Structure 1
Amino acid sequence: MVCAGGDGVVSGCNGDSGGPLNCQRNGLWDVDGIVSFGSGLSCNMIKKPTVFTRVSAYIDWINEVEN
């Protein structure tokens, strides 16, 4: 798992499950996470980050199934 957001400005919200956490490296965008869950209280709450499934933990399986 990886957490992102929780700054009170940008965070996941209801209906975001399955959405991407995109990160830019060397001018290219990668999907680093997939929304798993967030605070059930409200959207963009301070100190309540969105929790993502870490794609790198499953990349070997993804590549195997994809091919």
Structure 2
Amino acid sequence: MIFVSNPQIENNFKYHAPKPGQSEIYEQIREKAKELADLIDEKCPKSREASLAMTNLEQAVMWANAAVARN
């Protein structure tokens, strides 16, 4: 039996070397996210909700960078 892998799985689980200009995009995304993280840290009471906001912001950065790398 011959196994044929799903192209989306192949793409999602391989190394994506940065293409020209991508490093700058990653930096812009991180910079804007850090601005929001600083605002959340400054204005939100220290709480579970604030921690979740930070965690989800980190996830948003990761997925945004993955979108740039994978597509």
* TM-score bracket for the superposition, by shorter chain length: under 0.3
Q: Between Structure 1 and Structure 2, which shows a larger proportion of helix residues? A: 2
Higher Rg of the two aligned structures: 2
Q: Between Structure 1 and Structure 2, which shows a larger proportion of strand residues? A: 1
Q: What's the TM-score, normalizing by structure 1?
A: 0.24
Relative contact order higher in (CA < 8 Å, ≥ 6 apart): 2
